[in-house]
Amino acid sequence: MTWKLFYDGECNLCHGSQLQVVRWAARAKQPIETDVLQSANAREQGFDGDAMVLVADQTYFGHNAWLCLMRVAPWYLRWIGYVGSLPGVNVLAKAGYGIVAKYRKKWFGQRACPLPEPKSKVE
């Protein structure tokens, strides 16, 4: 099954993270497609927030998407996904993700999201 990752295309951290995840997925032989949350495809699916979304065996949002992506990380990082999924630790992972999400553009900067302008219909 091909995974589909939606990320904030205006965020340097998100962009860099998706590039890393694509490399990890290739090494793990996990097919993955990526798209920005600002795309028409993401909006059509109802993904209009700014939290990462991963459509895999189910749909994961935010910190759960990141923890799921750890399945394809190198062996020495995979433990993060398992430990982060434990009930008490998951609450901490959610809080940590929330803090980074809130300040990520301030801490890591922004970028222009390379989306073409929608074509207007001429009738």
pLDDT at 53: 94
pLDDT digits (tens, 9 = 90+) for 81-123: 999 889 899 999 999 988 988 888 888 887 765 554 444 444 4
Residue whose token pair is 């759960």: 64
Q: Tell me the two tokens of residue 56.
A: 């895999």
pLDDT at 13: 87
**Is residue 49 very low, low, confident or very high in pLDDT (cuts 50, 70, 90)?**
confident
